[in-house]
Chain A
Amino acid sequence: MSIANFHPNDLLAILPELALVVLAGVIMTMDIVLAENRKRLLGLTTAVGSFVIIAAAVIFSQPNGELIWGGMISNDMVAFIFRLVFIFAGGITALLSVDVKGVAHKGDYYAIILGAVVGMCFMALAADIIMLYLAVETTGIAGYVLAGYVHRSSRSAEAGLKYFLFGAATSAVMLYGLSLVYGFTGETNLTAIASVLASGKVGISVILASAILILVGVGFKIAIVPFHFWAPDVYEGAPTPVTGFISTAAKTAGFAVLIRVFITGLTASEYWLPILVALAALTMTIGNLLALAQKNIKRLLAYSSIAHAGYALVAFVALSELGVAATVFYLMVYVITNLAAFGVVILVSRSGAGEEIAGYAGMSRRSPYLALAMLVAFLSLAGMPPLAGFFGKFYVFAAAMKAGLVWLALVGVLNAIIGLYYYLVVLKVVYVSPPQEGALAIEVPRAYSFALVILSVGIVLLGTAASPWFEWALSAAQGIF
């Protein structure tokens, strides 16, 4: 027992996570205390609380790059950026839920979102395979509950079960991979694992086998080919705010784990890198090609999010400071943009227009501002300048080119063109097709217009003033190499 080694500053480092747990407790209490007609406050409190926590984190929890809490977590800048992104995504998701039937007035729904955010934060922080596995499972379990939350709708319950079975099976495979890593290095700490691997005592086949097994679990989280089967069905069936949350924050958390395990831990990259390069190319191409045929907006966004995981992976396989910085920046952009897209989808399906793309006909005449938000989000997803998505893709392809992966960058550019096509098809429906008879303006509650304004400004800001954000990501990436 060495309680003497306890530093109070270590508590400050995990202040955001502690505050999130407290906030979840407050929400649960409010759920009991508040009258039924004031339950809208639950979502608003979650959102405001999350933004306050972001501010507090920036002021009090600046990372120092050290391994703390017995080497369990790594308090570095990469983790810090990821954590801010997760808390932001959680807050926006809560804001986008306040008027959605079935979830809006449930305290436990918001508490589980906050719990998922805590899990994701620890996924980004984890520096030890035990911590890593627990964080992955915490996020996973919260995700299964959220996907199946509106369980009286059989679609949602089915989505939850599908997510659960795929998630539990792939994480069991990952656990076996972790057991091999532990077994052949004798260490659980990722840094220590890296130094054992560097000594050359562990054979190639072992590293390759554990890398593949771990990749199954991580691949599920980030939904890359061939572990993407669950994504369209789960995204379609889950409540739409949850779809937005899973497709942005949970995917980003998976990338955080990817960076931790494969850059900090399994450093012997020459063995597993070709697999990831091939998967990046496949993921972009298959995601985009399948998206072309979709008629349902949630399925379209599901396939497009598979493709976006592919782009982020392109930057990752560059395995350089520039590559990691491009991955981090791309994910920041992707989270903001995709949340905006899902915000619009939530509002349209709330108005009764459904989730088919045909239901978006003539939206520009019914609700010009909402259509504008959709234009910004979709053009950014497509990678049009001067929006954030353009610079995201620019840095990704630049990193790949610099690492000598010219063909992969070319595949990426071709894919971006395919992507542009189907995003423009949707925008054509929104702006050119005539509205259906008697279609009214889409009601936009104030919480939603606030969220969409924040996100749209974010998209423009990350695009027009990209370099300070990218510098931030670059300084973070330098900390882990």
Chain B
Amino acid sequence: MEAVSAAQIIFIVVALLTVATTFLVVTVRNLIHAALWLVATLFGIAVIFVLLDAGFMATVQIVLYIGAIAILIVFAVMLTRRVMQDVGPQSNENWWLGTIVAAVFFAAISTLLWSIRWPALPGAVVGDTVLALGRSLVDPNQYVIPFEVASVMLIIALIGSITLALPGKQSE
């Protein structure tokens, strides 16, 4: 066994922290706390992205996931404030079934992953990732159609969420 490198130590620490915060997201009672643990999890995943040489993805993860999505969730929690101190049962009566499904899933996937041995990772992927990413998004021979469909999707989401969240007239 060769010496443990700095990257490995960072990976192990961040991975353990991320698993812990993820567990807290789904277990804590207070929604604001859950949202904050979600931010911590998202940040942990961003660090893992950096370890995987995906620096641009890490940036997008922080800007988009933490900056927009997590903040929106916090807003939603605050807008629906009265349920925050919900005293009722936090889990449904089929909780054991859900846990079993998740456990079976985890067992299956980990057996699967362990059955395959990859060599240790080679060095960084390609030269200028951001440039290549940007070009492939507008190249007709690569991803221009998904890119345009994504824009249609975002417009639908924009119009739709405005319509849904607008406090409409009392009489229709």
Which residues of chain A are within 8 angstroms of B164 by Cβ–Cβ distance?
145, 148-149, 151, 157, 160
Q: Is A152 an interface residue (CB 8 A)?
A: yes
CA–CA, A147 and B157, complex, Å: 13
Which residues of chain B are within 8 angstroms of A205 by Cβ–Cβ distance?
111-112, 115
| A contacts, CB < 8 Å to B | 1-3, 5-6, 10, 14, 21, 28, 69-70, 72-73, 101-102, 106, 108-109, 111-112, 115-116, 118-119, 122, 128, 130-131, 134-135, 137-138, 141-142, 144-145, 148-149, 151-152, 157, 160, 180, 184, 203, 205-206, 209
Whether A138 lies near B156 (C-beta < 8 A) is: yes
Q: Is B172 an interface residue (CB 8 A)?
A: yes
CA–CA, A160 and B152, complex, Å: 20
Whether B153 lies near A138 (C-beta < 8 A) is: yes
Interface of B is mostly: helix
Whether A10 lies near B140 (C-beta < 8 A) is: yes
- In the complex, the chain A residue whose C-beta lies closest to that of B164 is A151
Rank and list the top 10 A-B pairs by shortest CB-CB distance, nearest first: A145-B160, A70-B141, A138-B153, A115-B156, A6-B140, A72-B145, A70-B142, A69-B145, A108-B159, A134-B146
- In the complex, the chain A residue whose C-beta lies closest to that of B155 is A115
CA–CA, A385 and B168, complex, Å: 48
With A134-B149, A145-B163 known, 9 other A-B pairs at CB within 8 A are: A2-B141, A6-B140, A6-B141, A108-B159, A112-B160, A128-B146, A142-B156, A145-B157, A209-B112
Show 8 A/B contacts (Cβ-Cβ < 8 Å), sorted by A. Answer: A2-B141, A3-B140, A69-B141, A72-B143, A118-B149, A138-B150, A141-B157, A152-B172
CA–CA, A111 and B160, complex, Å: 10
Q: Which B132-150 residues have a C-beta within 8 angstroms of A?
A: 135, 139-146, 149-150
A184 CB, nearest partner CB in chain B, Å: 8
Which residues of chain B are within 8 angstroms of A142 by Cβ–Cβ distance?
156, 160
CA–CA, A160 and B160, complex, Å: 12
Known A-B contacts A137-B153, A138-B149; the reply to A112 vs B159 at CB < 8 A is yes
Q: Is B108 an interface residue (CB 8 A)?
A: yes
A176 CB, nearest partner CB in chain B, Å: 8
Whether A1 lies near B146 (C-beta < 8 A) is: no
Which residues of chain B are within 8 angstroms of A203 by Cβ–Cβ distance?
115-116
Q: Is B109 an interface residue (CB 8 A)?
A: yes
CA–CA, A145 and B164, complex, Å: 7
Interface of A is mostly: helix
Whether B146 lies near A131 (C-beta < 8 A) is: yes
Whether B159 lies near A119 (C-beta < 8 A) is: no
CA–CA, A70 and B159, complex, Å: 30
A189 CB, nearest partner CB in chain B, Å: 11
Whether A130 lies near B143 (C-beta < 8 A) is: yes
Whether A108 lies near B140 (C-beta < 8 A) is: no
CA–CA, A305 and B145, complex, Å: 32
CA–CA, A109 and B156, complex, Å: 10
Whether A149 lies near B115 (C-beta < 8 A) is: no
Which residues of chain B are within 8 angstroms of A102 by Cβ–Cβ distance?
172
Whether A5 lies near B141 (C-beta < 8 A) is: yes
Which residues of chain B are within 8 angstroms of A72 by Cβ–Cβ distance?
143, 145-146
Among candidates A1, A10, A135, residue contacting B149 with C-beta atoms closer than 8 Å? A135
Which residues of chain B are within 8 angstroms of A2 by Cβ–Cβ distance?
139, 141
Whether B153 lies near A69 (C-beta < 8 A) is: no
Among candidates A70, A108, A160, residue contacting B143 with C-beta atoms closer than 8 Å? A70
Known A-B contacts A108-B159, A115-B152, A145-B156; the reply to A73 vs B145 at CB < 8 A is yes
Which residues of chain B are within 8 angstroms of A73 by Cβ–Cβ distance?
145
Which residues of chain B are within 8 angstroms of A149 by Cβ–Cβ distance?
163-164
Among candidates B111, B116, B149, B156, residue contacting A131 with C-beta atoms closer than 8 Å? B149
Which residues of chain A are within 8 angstroms of B116 by Cβ–Cβ distance?
184, 203, 206
- In the complex, the chain B residue whose C-beta lies closest to that of A153 is B172
- In the complex, the chain B residue whose C-beta lies closest to that of A20 is B152
Whether B160 lies near A1 (C-beta < 8 A) is: no
